[in-house]
Amino acid sequence: MYIGKMMKKPFIKMHGLGNDFVVIDSTKNQYVINKESVQKISDRRLGIGCDQLIEMKHSEKEDIFMKIYNADGSEAEACGNAARCVAGLLFASSPKKEVSIETIAGVIQAESEENGLIKVDMGKPKFFWKDIPLSMEKEKIDFKNLSLKNGLAINMGNPHVVFFVNDINKINISKIGPLIENNSLFPEKVNVEICQILNKNKIRALVWERGAGKTLACGSGACASLVAAHENKLSNPKAEIVLDGGSLYITWNLKSNNHVIMSGPIAVSFLGD
């Protein structure tokens, strides 16, 4: 495996509900990470395998800077599950119970909970079409050829579009996902969530991640799902989002700062070079 030119580098393989990451610490030594090396590392047959590669770098103002690469080598603005994994590493190496993580989309605050879960503040959702971004102004998004209508586009640090269906078992996210991700309506591509309301406090969601494909979980996608459900009067502002890899617990603090809070577990899979 190449990072730069034949340079060995320790890594930690981590995941949040199966949404998996190769985490590299570049706080002391800078390593050349490029599109080709990310693609090789992310390959599940020829490399280590991951949804995203995460590089931890020095931050001038916060506890850490988190750089996020999708499996295809493109850079992502935000990743809630990755933020929880990075926070877990910081908590394991210090007595701190709260840390701040800088990303290109802004600062994410993380907190270690008594039950062992890690909570992150994903900030305020954005709905203005230019903030998503969309290529044109639209309030609701329809893909009638895919039997999907009334989708809501949301920016949770990265772009999402959320649809609700009556029977999620009839959805082939691997077929639908790439068609929506690469649609011209989304100039920077888009993450796709297909959801089914189980009750006011529980939502089932399938995820197609921009630049990574079908994943077992997506933190920002779970946040977008809850926000879209509440905006459509389908759920309470606090709910369990059931993903293929397990559950995340999302709260939209509408009565205070309008921020979306996500809580869930993380795990270390293995270490290597």
Q: What length does the chain have?
A: 273
Active site residue 218: yes
Distances in Å between the alpha carbon of 22 and those of 15, 53, 96, 114, 204? Answer: 9, 5, 23, 26, 27
Backbone angles phi and psi of 222, in degrees to 5: -65, -40
Residue-wise over 131-169: b if at least 16 C-beta within 10 A, else e? ebbbeeeeeebebeeeebeebbbbbbbbbbbbbbbeebe
Residue 212 exposure: Cα atoms within 13 Å on the Cβ side:
27
Indicate which residue of 50, 79, 85, 223 is catalytic: 79
Amino acid letter at 265?
P
Active site residue 195: no
CA distance 64 to 107: 10
Indicate which residue of 50, 85, 195, 218 is catalytic: 218
C-beta neighbour count of 113 within 10 angstroms: 11
CA distance 53 to 121: 21
**Cα distance between the two ends of the chain:** 9
Residues with active-site annotation: 79, 218
